Amino acid sequence: MLSNKIKPGDTIGIIAPANIILKDDEEYIQKSSQLFEKLGYKIKFGTYARTNSLGYGANAKQKAEDINCMFADKDVKAIICVKGGEDSNTTFDYIDYETIKKNPKILCGFSDITSILNAIYAKTGLVTFNGATFKSLSSWETDYSFKEILKRFQDGNLELGTKEDKYETIQEGVAEGVLVGGNLSLTTKLVSGKYHLDFQDKIMFLEELGYESNPNLVNNNLYYMKQNGVFDKIKGIWVGNYEHESQISLEKILLDVLDNKYNFPIIKSNNFGHCERKTVIPIGCKAKIDTSQDRKIILLENCVI
């Protein structure tokens, strides 16, 4: 299920299903709003985006209500999550998945938002998007992420990143599959349970935040996936940004976990994750990895209409 492209004059909804907007965020929120407003877009904030009813943010029902209201609002054409956090999964039981099915819209974010993006795709079939949060559009020094947002959502361009982005082959091969994933820690939590992801015939893309997840924790999460058969089902892996003071890479840990027992292709790039250069990756769209090519991953189908 695909969303419509956006165009100047449209309203973009801003929600905070992970951490709320704090005073220190306001400067960046204002700058991000101006980026869109200069192009003719309107910005609408969720009712509870700044609510602190728990002392550490809005409660789960309030966060879910903002999600549901933005999808139901006929004026809102796309929804961008304002920032990451720790507990966006608390919304799952309160999200109105039927309303989402009836009102497909662009939904974008990364980090903790990985939970919501994949859960909504799993429950509704709606293609969601792993890309910059609203705050991060102006909190980095370059406009790479903002250009990627416009390229994907306004122009419908299928290019993942730019021609300057470098791709590395970790394990050779060719594979086609539907993209799922995002942050490793959050994707791991979707391996089993009520809101589990179906990993069959998927290309899984993974990134991790180094200062929160040391190599031991990365190893733990990847082994959990292995022990639960994830790597027996997928078609390939796309590794993104992971920077830890030990200089140990995510792909090094991954290869140790896989232990030469899987023959799917694995590629690496630094154009998604907790980094300045974030392309927009559609969750639920078919892609192809071919390690013999310079551009080692391409989208095979439209992700907006």
3-state secondary structure of 236: strand
**How would residue 154 be classed by pLDDT, with cut points 50, 70 and 90?**
very high
User: Helix 215-227 crosses helix 250-258 at what angle (to 10 degrees)?
Assistant: 40
Let me know if residue 201 belongs to a domain: yes
Let me know if residue 160 belongs to a domain: no
Final residue in a domain of this structure, among 102, 122, 153: 153
Report field, pTM of the whole predicted structure over 0.85: yes
Final residue in a domain of this structure, among 153, 178, 207: 153
**Nearest by Cα to 88 from 60, 109, 124, 61:** 60
| Containing structural domain, residue 257 | 167-299
pLDDT at 171: 98
Let me know if residue 188 belongs to a domain: yes
Q: Is the pLDDT of residue 202 over 90?
A: yes
pLDDT at 162: 95
Task: Write the CA distances from 147 to 206, 264, 280, integer angstroms.
Answer: 22, 32, 10
121 and 181 belong to one structural domain: no
What would the pLDDT profile of 37-55 be if each residue is shown by its tens digit? 999 999 999 999 999 999 9
Final residue in a domain of this structure, among 153, 181, 204: 153
Let me know if residue 121 belongs to a domain: yes
CATH at residue 73: 3.40.50.10740
How many CB atoms are located within 10 Å of the residue 299 CB?
18
Let me know if residue 189 belongs to a domain: yes
What would the pLDDT profile of 246-285 be if each residue is shown by its tens digit? 999 999 999 999 999 999 999 999 999 999 999 999 999 9
